[in-house]
C-alpha cells in the first residue's frame, strides 16, 4: 500500500478529522496528501505568488493568456471561496515504468510524455477529488489544473515535497511523476505552522548543487533554476501552442510528439525512487500508445485520430496539433521513408499541417 505523505502531529485536536480524511484519500486512490493553512487576507496566502507575478511580467507564460487573467485569485483562494481555511493537496502517481527507452527514443516514432500514456488525468482525478471534498463536509472547491490555483506552490506548502530547479514538485522518496490536485475547504484542518519562507530559500529545495535538468533541456528552456520560459519548452510547443512552431525550435525537438519528460527523466530523485503507480488507467495499452510510429500518425484522418486517442490528454491538441508535431518529428528523423506521407499532407485541409509538412520535406531532402 502507498503511504500518505504526512508530517502531521497526531496529538492535535484536529487529528481525528485529519486521520479520517487521510484514510478516505487512500481509499480513493491518492498516493500523497498534505494540508496547508490559508491565512492571508490579501495575496500573500501563497508564498510563491511573487515569483509567479515576476514570471508573468517576463512573458514566460507565452500564449497561455488564461494564466495572466485575474492573477490575484492565484495568490488568494479566498477570492474564490471566501470561507477557505485549508488547502488539501493530493498527489497521484503516473510512474508507469512500462516502455523501454530504445522504443521511446527511436526517431521513427513520435514520443509521448509519460503523463499522457493512459487515461486523461482530469477524468480520473476530478471525481475522486470532489468525493474527498464532499467527505470533508462543508462547501469546497476542487481543482486539477482547472482553476486559478498555483498547485505546485500549494503542494510545497502542504509538505508534499519541494519545488525543484526544473519547477516540478518533487517528493523526497517518490520523485516527481505525480499529478497534483487541490481542494480548498472551509474547515481548519492544519497544525499551526510558521508561514514564512526561510531566508535561504534553498533550504526548502532538495536539489543541492545538481543542475542536470537545466543542462539537459533540449531547448534550453530554463532561464535560471526554478524559472521555465514556456516559449521554449517542448511541452508548451507540442501541447499548448496552437499555431506555427517557431522554425528555430523545430530541430531541437527531436521525436517529441506530445509533452516532454527530459527534465524529470534526468532527475536523480526520479531515477532513484521510481515506484510503479497503482493507478492502472495511467498505463499504456501497448508501446505504440507511448510512442506511435510516425508513418502511422502521418496517415491518420480525423476519425482515426479521435478513435485512437479517445479519453486521453492527446485529444486536447487535436489532430491538427498532433500531425503538426509529427511533421516536425519526421523532419528530425530525416528518413526518406517519410516523404510519401508528408507529400500527401501537402493536400490536407489544415493549412497548419501543410506548412510543417513542407518544412519536414525540405529538411529530409537537404540531408539526403
Q: Interface with ligand B12 by CB under 6 A: which residues?
A: 48, 51-52, 55, 64, 67, 113, 115, 144-145, 149-153, 163, 166-169, 176, 178-180, 201-202, 204-205, 226, 228, 230, 233, 235-236, 239-240, 259-261, 263
Please, what is the minimum distance in Å from the beta carbon of residue 92 to ligand B12?
8
Q: Which helix (H) or strand (E) holds 170?
A: strand 169-170
Q: Per 3-state DSSP, what percentage of the chain is helix, strand, and coil (rounded to 5)? A: 45, 10, 45
CB closer to ligand B12 out of 154 and 359: 154
CB 33 within 8 A of CB 135: no
Q: List, as one string, the DSSP characters of 31-63.
A: SEEEEEE---SSTTSSTTHHHHHHHHHTTTTTT
User: What phi and psi values does residue 218 have, to the nearest 5 degrees?
Assistant: -65, -25
Whether 160 contacts 182, CB under 8 Å: no
In total, the chain counts a number of residues equal to 368
Which lies closer to ligand B12 via its Cβ, residue 329 or residue 357?
329
CB of 338 to ligand B12, least distance (A): 24
Cα 141 to Cα 81, 87, 198, 299, 334, distances in angstroms:
7, 10, 29, 42, 48
What is the closest distance, in whole angstroms, from the C-beta atom of residue 318 to ligand B12 in the complex?
A: 16
CB of 171 to ligand B12, least distance (A): 8
Handedness of CA 339, 344, 347, 352 (dihedral sign): negative
Closest-CA residue to 63 (of 245, 231, 315): 231
Least distance in angstroms from the C-beta of 3 to ligand B12: 18
Residue 337 C-beta: closest distance to ligand B12, Å: 28
Q: Which is nearer to ligand B12, 54 or 365 (CB)?
A: 54
**Cell of residue 139, nine digits:** 462547501
**Could you tell me where the beta strands, DSSP code E, fall in 189-345?**
222-224, 227-228, 256-258
CA distance 187 to 234: 40
**Which of 292, 311, 365 has the alpha carbon at shortest distance from 335?**
365
Closest residue to ligand B12, based on beta-carbon distance: 259
**Least spacing, CB of residue 273 vs ligand B12, in Å:** 13
Give the three-state DSSP class for 284.
coil
Question: Cβ closer to ligand B12: 131 or 335?
Answer: 131
The candidate with the shortest Cα–Cα distance to 229, out of 116, 70, 63, 356, is: 63
Q: Which is nearer to ligand B12, 17 or 53 (CB)?
A: 53
The rounded distance, in Å, linking the Cα atoms of 218 and 60 is: 17
- Concerning whether 145 is annotated as a catalytic residue, the answer is yes
Among 9, 106, 120, 145, the one annotated catalytic: 145
Q: Which is nearer to ligand B12, 171 or 308 (CB)?
A: 171
Q: Which is nearer to ligand B12, 105 or 304 (CB)?
A: 105
Residues that are catalytic: 145
Amino acid at each position: 500500500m502507498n503511504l500518505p505523505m504526512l508530517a502531521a502531529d497526531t496529538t492535535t485536536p484536529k487529528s481525528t478529522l485529519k486521520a479520517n480524511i487521510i484514510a478516505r484519500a487512500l481509499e480513493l486512490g491518492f498516493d500523497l496528501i498534505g494540508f496547508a493553512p490559508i491565512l492571508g487576507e490579501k495575496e500573500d496566502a501563497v508564498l510563491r505568488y511573487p515569483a509567479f507575478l515576476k514570471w508573468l511580467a517576463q512573458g514566460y507564460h507565452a500564449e497561455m493568456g488564461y494564466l495572466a487573467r485575474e492573477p490575484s485569485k492565484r495568490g488568494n483562494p479566498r477570492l474564490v471561496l471566501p470561507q477557505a481555511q485549508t488547502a488539501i493537496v493530493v498527489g497521484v502517481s503516473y510512474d508507469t515504468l512500462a516502455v523501454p527507452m530504445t522504443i521511446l527514443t527511436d526517431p521513427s516514432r513520435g514520443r509521448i510524455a509519460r503523463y499522457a500514456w493512459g487515461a486523461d488525468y482530469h477524468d480520473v482525478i476530478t471525481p475522486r477529488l470532489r468525493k474527498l471534498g464532499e467527505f470533508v463536509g462543508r462547501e469546497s472547491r476542487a481543482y486539477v489544473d482547472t482553476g486559478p490555483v498555483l498547485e505546485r506552490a500549494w503542494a510545497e506548502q502542504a509538505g508534499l515535497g519541494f519545488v525543484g530547479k526544473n519547477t516540478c514538485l518533487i517528493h523526497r522518496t517518490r520523485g516527481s511523476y505525480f499529478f497534483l490536485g487541490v481542494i480548498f475547504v472551509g474547515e481548519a484542518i492544519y497544525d499551526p505552522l510558521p508561514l514564512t519562507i526561510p531566508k535561504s530559500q534553498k533550504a526548502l529545495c532538495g536539489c543541492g548543487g545538481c543542475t542536470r535538468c537545466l543542462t539537459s533541456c533540449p531547448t534550453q528552456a530554463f532561464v535560471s533554476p526554478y524559472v521555465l520560459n514556456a516559449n521554449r519548452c517542448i511541452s508548451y510547443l507540442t501541447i499548448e501552442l496552437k499555431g506555427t512552431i517557431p522554425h528555430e525550435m523545430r530541430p531541437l525537438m527531436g521525436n517529441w510528439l506530445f509533452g516532454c519528460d527530459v527534465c524529470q527523466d534526468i532527475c536523480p530523485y526520479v531515477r532513484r525512487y521510481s515506484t510503479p503507480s497503482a493507478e492502472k488507467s495511467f498505463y499504456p495499452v501497448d508501446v505504440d500508445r507511448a510512442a506511435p510510429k510516425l508513418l502511422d500518425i502521418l496517415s491518420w484522418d480525423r476519425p482515426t485520430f479521435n478513435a485512437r486517442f479517445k479519453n486521453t490528454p492527446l485529444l486536447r491538441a487535436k489532430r491538427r496539433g498532433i500531425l503538426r508535431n509529427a511533421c516536425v518529428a519526421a523532419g528530425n528523423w530525416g528518413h526518406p521513408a517519410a516523404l510519401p506521407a508528408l507529400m500527401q499532407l501537402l493536400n490536407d485541409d489544415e493549412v497548419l499541417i501543410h506548412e510543417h509538412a513542407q518544412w519536414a520535406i525540405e529538411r529530409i531532402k537537404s540531408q539526403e
